[in-house]
Structure 1
Amino acid sequence: MTAATLTSTAPATGGPVKEARKRNWWGKHGRTTTVWGLRLASLVAFLVLWQVASLFVSNPMFISNPVAVTNQLVTWIGDGTLGTHTWITVQEVLLGYVIGVIAGALLGYLLASIHLIYDVFEPFMMALYSIPKVALAPLFIVWFGIGIDMKVILAAVSVFFLVFLNTAAGVREVDRGLVDAVRLMGGTRRDIAFKVVLPASMVGLLTGLKVSIPYALIGAVIGELVASNRGLGYLINDSAAQFNTAGVFAAVVVLTALAMVLNAVVSLIASRTNRWKPLGDA
């Protein structure tokens, strides 16, 4: 083969590869752009339909409209009401979420690692998990008062069981073949715990982290709805008492935005911890 032949064939081998990479790049980013475009279009369509529907309802107070909700948000932002009450709810949600995640992950990992103990306590944990958390609010008021502590604990309890059950499920579904292989290679109980069981349980833990976010919000807001003079739940109660439908919707919009932000943060954390997942689940 001559030098001229090599020269003529070299671009041909690199061309398809570069073209494929370019198509993959455009395909990935094009799909992302399409998804976000459809999301924005769906939101705009919903708001337009909502505004139009408010014109044909006999009493617009029942459904309000996007313009009134926006005006209410602007008013609350201007006088500092929204910032003050949102910050209270954020504190309750974050503290409750962190406490519930830590307690649920540790207890789920420890109990599920000892099969006999888990089998004994599993029915009790499921029974406690099945209790509607709103039923606990009056009891927590008696124990902890109506301050921020009650809302934090209610949010933590709501998060705890989801994280506990998902983490325990991850631990109990560890491939026994991997455990036996580590033992055959002379691995200690510490090696099994940190190199096999812990990475496997991360799948369940990350699932628990995601699904428990709305429950942290629910727990905190339920506490505010039952007894509080601060927070977004209080704003909902106060607006409803004044027949201010726009105020109720405005507080709900803020809660929705807060849930989306928290979901995005947890998704970012999950993407950073993908290396912990077993190869089959990555």
Structure 2
Amino acid sequence: MTEQLVSPGRQTSAGGPVRIPVERTWWQRHGRTTTVWALRLLLVTVLLAGWQMTAGSLFDITFTSKPSAIAGRLGEWSADGTLWTHSLVTIQEIVYGFLLGAVAGAVVGFVLASLQLAYRVIDPFMMALYSIPKVALAPLFIVWFGIGMHMKVLLAAATVFFLVFLNTAAGVREVDRGLVDAVRLMGGSRKDIALKVVLPSSMTGVLTGLKVAIPYALIGAVIGELVASNQGLGYLINDAAAQFDTAGVFATLVVLSVIAAVLNVLVGLIGRRVNRWKPVEARG
């Protein structure tokens, strides 16, 4: 049983919209989602089947491999522990880098965007730093921090920081000024405005920054591993490529894709909980 909002014209005694229980079948509630996932599964199945059947005839498997060989390599690496050892290292780098960059970007973005003069002064410098290709920072980070995990974490954090900062700052600057003025008229302090108006309203920008930054955290960590590392999925890609093991390269890319998908799901779940304060039609 679900609830449906009726038109604004029908009000309760408290002035809110009336919620009427509506009986809906399982298909009415989940049919669209089920259809989408079924079509996704069908698309992936068709693509993999076409790849498998054309490998060796239309394409040289030396360069493209084939799904069965990739699955075999994943099974082999899972059995001997190679996959889990290197995946754990990369996941740690991604998570630590993402958390460090996200927290720093959100805090700095919120504070600077709330101070209009400071933001106008610093904004061009932030954009200049953001424009630097992060792969160009890898050699410098190696000089500063060595080739251990710290270098990959900080490279991932630097990549995430600017994305979260820019989206957070945009969210803060787009807050409805009418809400701010209303709180001021009711005697609210700057703290009340910041915590009860600006912070909740800017969460859309923060969450957008987090979702956009997820693949870049992965990119930052893997770039660090590709440049200089003796462990991690980036190292595994380098090692497989050096041996012309195309199946190994594709197998590692599959693992990276799965990690990114899981992180996206986690951020999506957090976003739904954070946006519970919004009206139903604005949650998206």
What TM-score comes out, normalization by structure 1 length?
0.90
1:239 alignment partner in structure 2:
240
> 3-state SS of the aligned residue for 2:230?
coil
Count the aligned residue pairs: 264
Which one has a bigger Cα radius of gyration?
Answer: 1
Question: Which deviations, in whole Å up to 9, do the C-alpha atoms of 1:119-164 show, x marking residues without a partner?
Answer: 0000110111111100000000000000000000000011000100
> 3-state SS of the aligned residue for 1:190?
helix
Amino acid at match of 1:211: V
1:113 alignment partner in structure 2:
114
- Find the aligned partners of 1:279 and 1:102 in 2 and give their Cα distance: 28
Counterparts in 2 of 1:88 and 1:44: CA distance versus 1, 3 Å:
same
Amino acid at match of 1:246: A
1:80 alignment partner in structure 2:
81
Provide structure 2 residue ranges, at least 5 long, that are not aligned to the other structure: 1-19
Would you say the 8 A contact 1:103–1:160 is kept in 2?
yes
2:24 alignment partner in structure 1:
22
2:91 alignment partner in structure 1:
90
Would you say the 8 A contact 1:89–1:221 is kept in 2?
yes
- Measured after TM superposition, the shift of residue 91 of structure 1 is 0.2
1:39 alignment partner in structure 2:
40
Counterparts in 2 of 1:280 and 1:42: CA distance versus 1, 3 Å:
closer
- Find the aligned partners of 1:35 and 1:67 in 2 and give their Cα distance: 26
- Measured after TM superposition, the shift of residue 32 of structure 1 is 1.2
- Find the aligned partners of 1:181 and 1:213 in 2 and give their Cα distance: 36
- Find the aligned partners of 1:58 and 1:164 in 2 and give their Cα distance: 44
What TM-score comes out, normalization by structure 2 length?
0.90
- Find the aligned partners of 2:36 and 2:207 in 1 and give their Cα distance: 24
- Find the aligned partners of 1:236 and 1:94 in 2 and give their Cα distance: 20
> 3-state SS of the aligned residue for 1:212?
helix
- Find the aligned partners of 1:47 and 1:241 in 2 and give their Cα distance: 26
Greater fraction of residues in helix: 1
1:197 alignment partner in structure 2:
198
Question: Which deviations, in whole Å up to 9, do the C-alpha atoms of 1:202-237 show, x marking residues without a partner?
Answer: 110011111100000000000000000100000100
Amino acid at match of 1:61: T
- Give RMSD over aligned pairs: 1.5
1:6 alignment partner in structure 2:
none
Counterparts in 2 of 1:193 and 1:58: CA distance versus 1, 3 Å:
closer
> 3-state SS of the aligned residue for 1:90?
helix
- Find the aligned partners of 1:199 and 1:276 in 2 and give their Cα distance: 8
Provide structure 1 residue ranges, at least 5 long, that are not aligned to the other structure: 1-16
